A and B are shown apart, each in its own frame.
Chain A
Amino acid sequence: MTDARPLSDVKILDFMWVMAGPASTRILADYGATIVRIESPTRIDTARTLQPFHGNALGPDSSGLFANCNAGKFGISIDLGNPAARDLVFDLVRWADVVTESFSPKAMRAWGYDYESIRKVKPDIIMLSSCLMGQTGPLAKIAGFGNMAAAIAGFHNLTGWPDQPPAGPFGAYTDYVAPRFTAMALIAALDHHRRTGEGQYIDQSQAECAIHFLAPAILDYTANGRVAGRVGNADYEFAPHGVYPAAGEDRWVAIACRHDDDWRRLCSAIGREDLARDARYSSAAQRREHRAALDSAIAAWSKSRDPVEAETILQARGVPAHQVQNSAETYRDPQLLHRGHFVDLDHPTLGKFTVEGPRAKLSRTPAEVRRAAPTLGQHNQYVLEEILKYDEAKITELATAGVLG
């Protein structure tokens, strides 16, 4: 059966690990790309050690993060430091259209798998390296995680309360931004290759691409000299705008007034028409000035209400409002259910494994996640036999040389 998915003719050799890299090739797998993901047989992928865990129990295949970032890929274990692995790796390079890696710079060179070496084997290869700060510059060799890139790119200082240290966005923020830039750069480079026959090397700094998500604040500095700081949930335009307490333990409702109409509707919904008539609050600028007084009036209404009830009352009047949902609430969310956001996959060792589904709906050739993430070395045999057409003797030789772990 032919695969109608958009990238079903694309082959990717994926050396990426942890989060930002694998999340990008996961997107391409959903669009149909065949991805052979290399894992070290000795050095566990950090992602396999991270929460949340299937059944709340730690195990090599239990990480929901790993499962979510690697669904749909073939997994092969190769000891890249073993010289006997070279022919195998280069055979995979010959098979691939694209090679991706996300080690800190120099790791691939140390193994002899840098772009120059790979290009000798396959002159028109597309290769992308993704790391925190990029392949060059004084900080190039910094290894680490997306929380570090997010901090150095300016995200942390813009998240939290002015009277408190930076709360920072949750976790490794640039690891959520960078994967889309990786994926779009690769598909664009494939199109260039189709038109010209030319491959290329792509140097991605996760910090540099993520800074595009702070562009208005960057320009406010470069054009106006203004340095934005932490403002809690305040908005530069909208008021009232915030997260308000609801009935129950750690339950909240987010409310945003985009314009005067929203403000009047909100006042009427919470039974405070007096505020809507009050000249002190007639413009957004005035409402921003009197934020504290208005926030306490809204909180007085919301704190005794169920967050979904508050959401429903306000949305019925066209006021932007939503319960602040935890994972259990998103898992039951009727809209996410309607969109098929959660997808159950059969896992070779753990039974059912739920991952997030593709985020864009294509009408004619939809993306689809078809396989659970691989266990370590799960597809060694398949890759060697079916993809590389190795015979039994050669496979045995690789195993004996310790190439596969």
Chain B
Amino acid sequence: MSVLSPYRVLDLATERGLLCGQLLGDMGADVIKVEPPGGSSARSIGPFFNDQPHPDRSLYWWAYNRSKRSITLDLEREQGRDIFRRLAARADFLIESDNPGYLAERGLAFPDLSAINPRLIYASITAFGQDGPKASYADSDLIIMAAGGPLILAGDENRPPVRLSVPQAYLHACADTAVAMLAANHERVRTGLGQYIDVAAQQSVGMATQSYILAAALGSSEARRMAGGIKFGPLDIQLVWPAKDGYVAMTMLFGSALGVFTRRFMHYLCEQGFCDEATRDKDWIQYGEMLFDGSEPISEFERIKEIARTFTRSHTKDELLQLSVERGLLITPVTTIDEVVESTQLESRNYFQNVEHPELGASFRYPGPFVKFGATPIEYRRRPPTVGEHNREIYEAELGFSPREVSELKQKGII
């Protein structure tokens, strides 16, 4: 029993919007990926399996098209659009991520399809939204991160701001869109009506500022960049620390909630001979206030950070993680991708899933179910489809075309 098994989704999304349909598909929806003849442009995005560029070997494609069936259809031609309208008449959801106006010019905008199917929930994912002064801006992941607020906050003080090197902006938008579509579906149960959903990635990435996007509106100071940390007024709060074999993330903060952990950590440092009792016994709950009112000099805070660094540097990432578990401290390793995939924690939860690729005679480990549903577990039923893999199945069995008609459509280049 899958949680969204009653629903059908038409996925027209370009490389901007692929995660959205995959999330619905992972939850059991029947997602039909509609690609132009020859395949989606997303299939040309690397990296590729064995570094061999091929539409069915794009790892970018694999990453976001699990749990979908693929058909090819030429929406540039009226005959293709007619076939698409037949599909839309029976669909519950549609996702698209073309530039604003692109589908409208082809008679496939929300009002066009809503006239055929008033129940249709139709979602558009773009960089800046469907209208407004920047709606037609040229965009990319980096541009959205710059416009939406997260980029200025990350990176080294003496270098340009830096992004996460795996593009993130549209993923935030895709996840927001999936939530919005399910909310609209909940409403549709009451009224029987679909609606249009317009998501702007620029707004979605505001989430990645930890509410610092509000600083100006609240009359608060701008945040200042610091590698592996956060500047907090005159304080450099370090969050990434050196270990013997790499780095760890450690939260060493103060106040009623966090000071407790810092006190615990300082007790351990003292026990291990890294600091004296006077240092150990500082008031870690009030320590932030003491630094702010000057009763504790910042140089003293810097000395304590150096003690903590000396300690973390003398242990491996794994030793520090075990210590964190045993002693209730706030330390985790900064992992490399291979360490993520080989993690014993993820292994113990059977997280990574083997997905068979019979066309390659191999199987590969994919990131696993995004949550564990008790009653309706997520199961990976389909590997990412090859170009037009399900044409026959959908055009013949579902739309009732004869094999000859399908061959004709192929000859004409409609599919």
Contacts and interface: CB of A to CB of B under 8 A. Distances in A.
Interface string A132-168: 0110111111111101111111111111110011111
Given A184-B182, A238-B140, A154 B336 contact: yes
Contact of A222 (B207, B328, B364): B364
A196 B4 CA distance: 12
B132 interface: yes
Interface in B202-227: 202-204, 206-223, 225, 227
Nearest to B230: A171
Contacts of A181: 175, 370-371
A354 to B, nearest CB: 4
B13 to A, nearest CB: 15
Interface string A325-360: 111101101111011011000000000011111011
B345 A6 contact: no
B19 interface: yes
Interface in A156-213: 156-161, 164-173, 175-177, 179-185, 187-192, 194-196, 198-205, 208-209, 211-213
B146 interface: yes
Contacts of B250: 148
Contacts of B83: none
Given A157-B334, A335-B128, A208 B351 contact: yes
A56 interface: yes
A95 interface: no
B183 A244 contact: no
30 contacts: A10-B186, A64-B214, A67-B211, A145-B251, A148-B249, A149-B332, A164-B159, A165-B227, A166-B247, A176-B172, A181-B370, A184-B182, A194-B189, A208-B367, A209-B370, A212-B19, A213-B171, A218-B340, A222-B365, A223-B49, A228-B165, A230-B165, A233-B142, A243-B160, A252-B160, A335-B129, A335-B134, A356-B203, A360-B199, A363-B197
A237 to B, nearest CB: 6
A377 interface: no
B325 A138 contact: yes
Interface in B106-130: 110, 123, 128-129
B182 A187 contact: yes
Contacts of B340: 152-154, 211, 214, 218
A46 B160 contact: no
A330 B129 contact: no
Contact of B179 (A10, A184, A354): A184
Contacts of B51: 224
A90 interface: no
B372 A167 contact: no
B298 to A, nearest CB: 18
A185 to B, nearest CB: 5
Interface in A290-328: 315, 318-328
A236 B47 contact: yes
A338 B149 CA distance: 16
A156 B334 contact: yes
A10 B182 CA distance: 13
A52 B221 contact: yes
A227 interface: yes
A-B interface, 9 closest residue pairs, ranked by CB to CB distance from nearest: A151-B249, A180-B175, A360-B180, A338-B132, A200-B375, A215-B63, A52-B220, A170-B153, A6-B187
A320 B227 contact: no
A226 B341 CA distance: 12
B45 interface: yes
